[in-house]
Protein backbone atom coordinates (compact mmCIF):
# COMPACT_ATOMS: atom_id res chain seq x y z
CA UNK A 1 0.00 0.00 0.00
CA UNK A 2 1.50 3.39 -0.95
CA UNK A 3 2.46 5.69 1.91
CA UNK A 4 1.75 9.44 1.84
CA UNK A 5 4.34 11.53 0.01
CA UNK A 6 3.01 14.96 0.96
CA UNK A 7 6.26 16.14 2.55
CA UNK A 8 9.17 18.38 1.55
CA UNK A 9 10.84 15.64 -0.51
CA UNK A 10 7.68 14.03 -1.93
CA UNK A 11 8.99 10.70 -0.62
CA UNK A 12 8.06 7.87 1.74
CA UNK A 13 10.44 5.02 2.56
CA UNK A 14 9.13 1.91 4.33
CA UNK A 15 12.11 -0.16 5.47
CA UNK A 16 12.07 -3.89 6.16
CA UNK A 17 15.43 -4.55 7.75
CA UNK A 18 16.69 -6.11 10.97
CA UNK A 19 15.45 -3.12 12.96
CA UNK A 20 11.84 -3.89 11.95
CA UNK A 21 12.20 -7.67 11.53
CA UNK A 22 14.71 -9.08 14.05
CA UNK A 23 14.51 -12.49 12.36
CA UNK A 24 16.58 -11.07 9.49
CA UNK A 25 19.63 -10.98 11.76
CA UNK A 26 22.56 -12.85 10.15
CA UNK A 27 20.58 -13.54 6.93
CA UNK A 28 22.23 -10.77 4.89
CA UNK A 29 19.03 -9.50 3.23
CA UNK A 30 16.60 -6.61 3.64
CA UNK A 31 14.20 -4.53 1.57
CA UNK A 32 12.40 -1.21 1.46
CA UNK A 33 9.41 0.16 -0.40
CA UNK A 34 10.02 3.64 -1.79
CA UNK A 35 7.02 5.79 -2.77
CA UNK A 36 7.50 8.98 -4.79
CA UNK A 37 5.01 11.75 -5.41
CA UNK A 38 5.30 13.70 -8.67
CA UNK A 39 8.71 15.39 -8.49
CA UNK A 40 9.60 13.30 -5.42
CA UNK A 41 13.28 12.94 -4.58
CA UNK A 42 15.24 10.35 -2.66
CA UNK A 43 18.15 12.73 -2.06
CA UNK A 44 21.81 11.81 -2.45
CA UNK A 45 22.70 9.19 0.14
CA UNK A 46 24.81 6.09 0.71
CA UNK A 47 24.33 2.64 2.19
CA UNK A 48 27.69 1.95 3.86
CA UNK A 49 26.96 -1.73 4.52
CA UNK A 50 24.99 -2.86 1.47
CA UNK A 51 24.60 -2.92 -2.29
CA UNK A 52 21.11 -1.96 -3.47
CA UNK A 53 19.06 -3.22 -6.39
CA UNK A 54 15.98 -1.14 -7.22
CA UNK A 55 12.91 -2.56 -9.03
CA UNK A 56 10.30 -0.10 -10.34
CA UNK A 57 6.73 -1.14 -9.49
CA UNK A 58 5.14 1.72 -11.43
CA UNK A 59 6.06 5.15 -12.74
CA UNK A 60 9.36 6.40 -14.08
CA UNK A 61 12.50 7.34 -12.15
CA UNK A 62 15.72 9.10 -13.05
CA UNK A 63 18.39 7.31 -11.03
CA UNK A 64 22.13 7.49 -10.70
CA UNK A 65 25.26 7.01 -8.65
CA UNK A 66 28.64 8.68 -8.62
CA UNK A 67 31.73 6.50 -8.88
CA UNK A 68 34.85 7.04 -6.79
CA UNK A 69 36.32 8.71 -9.91
CA UNK A 70 33.46 11.29 -9.78
CA UNK A 71 31.72 9.85 -12.86
CA UNK A 72 27.92 9.96 -12.88
CA UNK A 73 26.27 6.71 -13.98
CA UNK A 74 22.59 7.40 -14.59
CA UNK A 75 19.54 6.40 -16.57
CA UNK A 76 15.77 6.59 -16.64
CA UNK A 77 14.04 3.43 -15.46
CA UNK A 78 10.37 2.51 -15.86
CA UNK A 79 7.94 -0.11 -14.61
CA UNK A 80 9.65 -3.51 -14.49
CA UNK A 81 13.18 -2.09 -14.87
CA UNK A 82 16.00 -2.53 -12.36
CA UNK A 83 19.10 -0.54 -11.46
CA UNK A 84 21.94 -1.35 -9.06
CA UNK A 85 23.73 1.00 -6.67
CA UNK A 86 27.11 -0.29 -5.46
CA UNK A 87 27.75 -0.42 -1.72
CA UNK A 88 28.92 2.87 -0.24
CA UNK A 89 28.53 5.02 -3.36
CA UNK A 90 26.49 8.22 -3.33
CA UNK A 91 23.25 7.73 -5.26
CA UNK A 92 19.78 9.21 -5.75
CA UNK A 93 16.38 8.69 -7.38
CA UNK A 94 13.93 11.33 -8.62
CA UNK A 95 10.45 11.01 -10.06
CA UNK A 96 10.33 13.40 -12.99
CA UNK A 97 6.99 12.00 -14.12
CA UNK A 98 3.59 13.65 -13.79
CA UNK A 99 2.16 10.85 -11.61
CA UNK A 100 3.35 8.87 -8.60
CA UNK A 101 6.03 6.21 -8.76
CA UNK A 102 7.01 3.33 -6.48
CA UNK A 103 9.92 0.94 -6.26
CA UNK A 104 11.22 -1.93 -4.16
CA UNK A 105 14.82 -1.72 -2.99
CA UNK A 106 16.57 -4.94 -2.00
CA UNK A 107 19.89 -5.09 -0.15
CA UNK A 108 22.57 -7.71 0.45
CA UNK A 109 22.66 -6.80 4.14
CA UNK A 110 20.20 -7.14 7.00
CA UNK A 111 21.23 -3.60 8.02
CA UNK A 112 22.62 -1.65 5.04
CA UNK A 113 22.48 1.66 6.89
CA UNK A 114 21.69 4.97 5.26
CA UNK A 115 23.57 8.25 5.35
CA UNK A 116 21.90 11.24 3.69
CA UNK A 117 24.65 13.49 2.37
CA UNK A 118 23.07 16.91 3.02
CA UNK A 119 21.93 16.03 6.54
CA UNK A 120 25.26 14.40 7.34
CA UNK A 121 27.14 17.58 6.53
CA UNK A 122 24.69 20.33 7.43
CA UNK A 123 22.70 18.85 10.33
CA UNK A 124 25.37 16.93 12.28
CA UNK A 125 25.42 17.17 16.08
CA UNK A 126 27.70 18.65 17.16
CA UNK A 127 27.71 20.73 13.98
CA UNK A 128 30.42 20.79 11.35
CA UNK A 129 31.96 24.26 11.46
CA UNK A 130 30.62 26.87 9.06
CA UNK A 131 34.18 27.63 7.96
CA UNK A 132 34.81 24.00 6.97
CA UNK A 133 31.56 23.81 5.00
CA UNK A 134 31.94 27.22 3.37
CA UNK A 135 35.46 26.37 2.24
CA UNK A 136 34.52 22.86 1.04
CA UNK A 137 31.53 24.08 -0.98
CA UNK A 138 32.92 27.51 -1.91
CA UNK A 139 29.91 29.30 -0.41
CA UNK A 140 29.57 32.01 2.23
CA UNK A 141 28.98 31.38 5.93
CA UNK A 142 25.54 32.96 5.44
CA UNK A 143 24.72 30.38 2.77
CA UNK A 144 25.92 27.61 5.10
CA UNK A 145 23.64 28.94 7.85
CA UNK A 146 20.70 29.12 5.41
CA UNK A 147 21.21 25.49 4.40
CA UNK A 148 21.59 24.40 8.04
CA UNK A 149 18.36 26.16 8.99
CA UNK A 150 16.44 24.28 6.28
CA UNK A 151 17.77 20.90 7.43
CA UNK A 152 17.42 21.47 11.18
- Is 45 labelled as part of a ligand binding site? yes
Q: Is 91 annotated as a binding residue?
A: yes
Per the annotation, does 60 bind a ligand? no
Q: Which residues contact 7 (CB under 8 A, 6 or more apart)?
A: none
Cα separation, 94 vs 115, in Å, equals 17
Q: How many residues does the chain have?
A: 152
Alpha-carbon torsion (38, 151, 50, 63), positive or negative: positive
Q: How far is CA 110 from the centre of its chain?
A: 17
Q: What sign does the dihedral 137-36-39-78 (CA atoms) show? A: positive
96 is in an annotated binding site: no
Point out the annotated binding site. 42, 45, 47, 52, 91
Point out the annotated binding site for oxalate. 42, 47, 52
Point out the annotated binding site for Mn(2+). 45, 47, 52, 91
Amino acid sequence: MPKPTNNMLGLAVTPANVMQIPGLNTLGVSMARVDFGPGGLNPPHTHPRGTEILFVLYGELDVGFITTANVLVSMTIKQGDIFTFPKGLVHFQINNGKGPAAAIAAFDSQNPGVQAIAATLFAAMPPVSDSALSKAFQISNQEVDAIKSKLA
